[in-house]
Amino acid sequence: MQPHVGIIGAGLIGRFHARGVHGLTKLGLVDARYVAVCDRELERAESFARIADLDLATADPEELIASPSVNTIYVCTPTAEHKELVLRAAAAGKHVFCEKPLARTLADAQEMYNAVQSAGVRHQVGLIMHHSPVLTVLKELITDPTLGRLMTIVFRDDQAFPIQGHYASDWRGDVAIAGGGTLIEHSIHDLDLLTWFAGDVESLQAQTRNYAGHEGVEDLASVMLSFASGATAQLTSVWHDIKERASGRLLEVFFERGYFAVDQDFFGSISYETNDTQGPTTISDQEVRQRYFDIAGLDKDVFDQALGKYSLEDYFFLQALAEDRDPHPGFDVALGAHKLVDAAYRSAAEDGRRIDLS
Ligand SMILES: NC(=O)c1ccc[n+]([C@@H]2O[C@H](COP(=O)([O-])OP(=O)(O)OC[C@H]3O[C@@H](n4cnc5c(N)ncnc54)[C@H](O)[C@@H]3O)[C@@H](O)[C@H]2O)c1
Name the residue ranges covered by the structural domains of the chain.
Answer: 4-128+314-328, 130-299+338-349
Q: In ligand 1, which atom is closest to the CA atom of 77? A: 24
Closest CA to 256 of 154, 152, 153, 149: 149
CA of 75 to the centre of ligand 1 (A): 8
Cβ 11 under 6 angstroms from ligand 1 = yes
Cβ 182 under 6 angstroms from ligand 1 = no
Give the rounded distance of the alpha carbon of 47 from its chain centre.
26
pLDDT of residue 253: 98
Cβ(293)–Cβ(286) under 8 Å?
no
Architecture in CATH of 130-299+338-349: 2-Layer Sandwich (3.30)
CA of 6 to the centre of ligand 1 (A): 14
Dihedral angle, C-alpha 297, 303, 308, 310, nearest 10 °: -30
| Distance, CA of 226 to CA of 205 (rounded, Å) | 9
Closest CA to 97 of 357, 339, 343, 321: 321
pLDDT of residue 300: 84
pTM beyond 0.85, yes or no? yes
Closest CA to 253 of 245, 263, 243: 263
pLDDT digit string (tens) for 286-330? 999 999 999 999 988 878 777 776 689 999 999 999 999 999 999
4-128+314-328 fold = Rossmann fold (3.40.50)
Ligand 1 pocket test target in 63, 99, 188, 310 with most atoms within 8 Å of CB:
99
The lowest-confidence range among 4-18, 127-141, 186-200, 307-321 is 307-321
Distances in whole angstroms, Cα of residue 194 to Cα of each of 4, 102, 200, 225, 299: 34, 18, 9, 9, 29
Residues 6+ apart with CB under 8 A from 141: 260, 270, 272
| Distance, CA of 36 to CA of 68 (rounded, Å) | 11
